[in-house]
Amino acid sequence: MKESVLFERVILGSTEEAKDIILQLVNLSAYFCESRIVKNINLAIEKNKVTSIMGPSGCGKTTLIRCINRMHEMSPGGTTKGEILLYGKDINNMNAIEVRKKIGMVFQRPNPFPTMTIYENVIAGFILNGIRLPKNIMDEIVEDSLSKAALWDEVKHNLGKRGIYLSGGQQQRLCIARALAMKPDVLLLDEPTSALDPKATAKIEELIVQLKESVTILIVTHNIAQAARVSDNTAFLYLGELVEYEPTKKLFTIPRDKRTEEYLTGKYG
Ligand SMILES: Nc1ncnc2c1ncn2[C@@H]1O[C@H](COP(=O)(O)OP(=O)(O)OP(=O)(O)O)[C@@H](O)[C@H]1O
Ligand SMILES: [Mg+2]
């Protein structure tokens, strides 16, 4: 079911005007064995917007987004409580592989498959799931995904070259293309530029803003300036709790919570 569902926006228990919500976390907690890392989070993610998750190292950002595509449960001792609703349906009641097609993920370090060509990397999701499509359809998916990832012009004459021979920034855009090839509804980005130089970072940031027209983006970032540049809404996480969640401009100019203000002024590094 692709039509969007309107929910009341849930922000720290208060309600605002109804928005077009694609993903809703309801009382979400995540554990490693007995220890609760993510604590009772309620968060509604707006469709076709960029949402940043910001917070100090170790506060649970990666753990939180790994819950959203069912990867957390693959870690030893990793369990969750609460609900994660995609278009109103709990992803924990869906097939995990289907969830990962709808909710793609890109990691901190570019990780193209080392033995695969650029072309194969883009369609890796199909190859690894044993999905065979006619060559012309695959060609279209490759061109479309690489174009959306702003990489097509740079690689179109070298599709048979291995993905790992590209620059770091190009590799990260290849990983974004690989995620986009599955036509996800949501793209999770975990500090996607922290291994890149400023020029490659700028290119990815520009891409993120373009991509939100076709996919909802959730980005974890340490970089406060990056959150300010690319995101519509920002959530601030501290010690596993959601402290504040607001439109980015509002959170950056008039933070409600002292901890947010201290983070923004560099107190937690
Ligand atoms: N596989 C694991 N087993 C046990 N504990 C873990 C595991 N992975 C992470 N943790 C713990 O969970 C907490 C949150 O880690 P997480 O990686 O989610 O933080 P983060 O906010 O992404 O930090 P960073 O900004 O450094 O990437 C940390 O205390 C960490 O030690
Ligand atoms: Mg992390």
User: Sheet of 186-190: strands edge to edge?
Assistant: 103-106, 186-190, 216-221, 50-54, 233-238, 241-247
Which residue puts its alpha carbon closest to atom 29 of ligand 1? 58
Pick the closest to residue 269 from 69, 54, 18, 71 (CA basis).
54
Q: Is residue 192 part of a domain?
A: yes
Pick the closest to residue 2 from 149, 145, 184 (CA basis).
184
Q: Is residue 234 part of a domain?
A: yes
Check if 75 has its Cβ closer than 6 Å to any atom of ligand 1. Answer: yes
Q: Is residue 269 part of a domain?
A: no
Check if 37 has its Cβ closer than 6 Å to any atom of ligand 1. Answer: yes
Check if 59 has its Cβ closer than 6 Å to any atom of ligand 1. Answer: yes
Which residue puts its alpha carbon closest to atom 30 of ligand 1? 58
* Ligand 1 atom at shortest distance from the alpha carbon of 55: 21
Q: Is residue 76 part of a domain?
A: yes
Q: Which string of DSSP letters, residue by residue, matches 3-57?
A: S-EEE--EETTEE-S-EEEEEEEEEEEEEETTEEEEEEEEEEEETTSEEEEE--T
Which residue puts its alpha carbon closest to atom 17 of ligand 1? 62
Check if 227 has its Cβ closer than 6 Å to any atom of ligand 1. Answer: no
* Ligand 1 atom at shortest distance from the alpha carbon of 33: 4
Residue 49, domain extent: 5-264
Which residues, listed in sequence order, are joined to residue 45 by a DSSP beta bridge?
23
Average pLDDT over residues 223-228: 94
* Rounded Cα–Cα distance for residues 117 and 112 (Å): 9
* Ligand 1 atom at shortest distance from the alpha carbon of 63: 18
Q: What is the pTM of this model?
A: 0.92
CB atoms within 10 A of CB 54: 28
Q: Is residue 104 part of a domain?
A: yes
Residue 90 has pLDDT above 80, yes or no: yes
Q: What is the CATH number of the domain that holds 162?
A: 3.40.50.300
Percent of the chain with pLDDT over 90: 89
Residue 13 has pLDDT above 80, yes or no: no
Q: Is residue 257 part of a domain?
A: yes
Confidence of residue 2 (pLDDT cuts 50, 70, 90): very low
Which residue puts its alpha carbon closest to atom 5 of ligand 1? 32
Q: Is residue 188 part of a domain?
A: yes
Residue 235 has what pLDDT?
Answer: 97
Q: Is residue 66 part of a domain?
A: yes
**Digit-coded pLDDT (tens) for 52-86:** 999 999 999 999 999 999 999 999 999 999 999 99
* Rounded Cα–Cα distance for residues 32 and 30 (Å): 7
Which residue puts its alpha carbon closest to atom 28 of ligand 1? 58
Average pLDDT over residues 245-269: 92
Looking at the 3D structure of the chain, how many domains does it have? 1
